Amino acid sequence: LVCKKENEQIISKERVANHGEVYTAEREVNAMLDLVKFQTQRIESTFLEPACGTGNFLVEILRRKLDIVVSKYKRKQYEFEFYSIIAVSSLYGIDILSDNVEKCRERLFDIFNSTYQTYFNKKAKESCKESVRYILSKNIILGDALTLKRVDGSASPIIFCEWTPIGRYYIQRKDYEFAELLKDKEFENIIEESDHDQMMIDFGQSDKQLTIDYTQREESIFKHINTYPLQHFLELKDV
């Protein structure tokens, strides 16, 4: 599904007209990601693609992160699983079309799963796959990145889950409203100083493209709305 040719970049004229849906070709995806190469190769660096389509950028970022996980942990299954989950948990996407959201989750899962199977085959655990699926169900959101609301009928605010590794093998989830993150005064400074974690915006119909640094933030500048009990990384679920 990564478009290698120009004619694979659109699904229909209607979707281009209604949603500006023109996918970025693989060559451009890689060229753009190479501009922040160091960050794409950090297992925990955070990326948000707020008009993600089927996830052309997120897929390539996950591939790069998993290359690092493989190079470090291909002989240590537990570490491989833990760091793969950290890699997945730091990728976020929003799209306004539900088939794109489904496809994006599926592609990200497949990349994780094929890497996992390649190295651990019969020893691969269903619980690890479930944790990855669970995180993707939270991080890849059906929503409108302009109104900052979900488009699943609830019209509730878009909420991002932050997954922080605590010690080894535990994860702390905290929830943040997207609107709140954008409102923050210090957010403006963050945009200007950007060269770390990335948010890429390409709505297709406008020239707007932004790159935003999340790394240098102080914990306190973002108000979270919920904190959850620690969970083992192989047992992530709603609590």
Ligand X SMILES: C[S@@+](CC[C@H](N)C(=O)[O-])C[C@H]1O[C@@H](n2cnc3c(N)ncnc32)[C@H](O)[C@@H]1O
**Which residues lie near ligand X (CB under 6 A)?**
19-24, 49, 51-53, 56-57, 94-97, 100, 144-146, 202-204
Task: State the minimum distance, in angstroms, from the CB of residue 238 to ligand X.
Answer: 24
| Nearer of residues 56 and 194 to ligand X, judged by Cβ | 56
Task: State the minimum distance, in angstroms, from the CB of residue 22 to ligand X.
Answer: 5
| Nearer of residues 131 and 139 to ligand X, judged by Cβ | 139
Q: Quick one: DSSP state of residue 55? A: T
Partners of 108 in beta bridges: none
| Nearer of residues 29 and 86 to ligand X, judged by Cβ | 29
| Nearer of residues 208 and 223 to ligand X, judged by Cβ | 208
Task: State the minimum distance, in angstroms, from the CB of residue 107 to ligand X.
Answer: 11
Angle, vertex CA 115, rays to CA 136 and CA 86, nearest 5: 45
Contacts of 152 (CB under 8 A, 6+ apart): 98, 142, 143
- C-alpha–C-alpha distance, residues 190 and 35, integer Å: 18
How, if at all, do strands 226-227 and 231-232 pair? Answer: unpaired
Closest by CA to 171, choosing from 88, 74, 64, is 88
Task: State the minimum distance, in angstroms, from the CB of residue 202 to ligand X.
Answer: 5
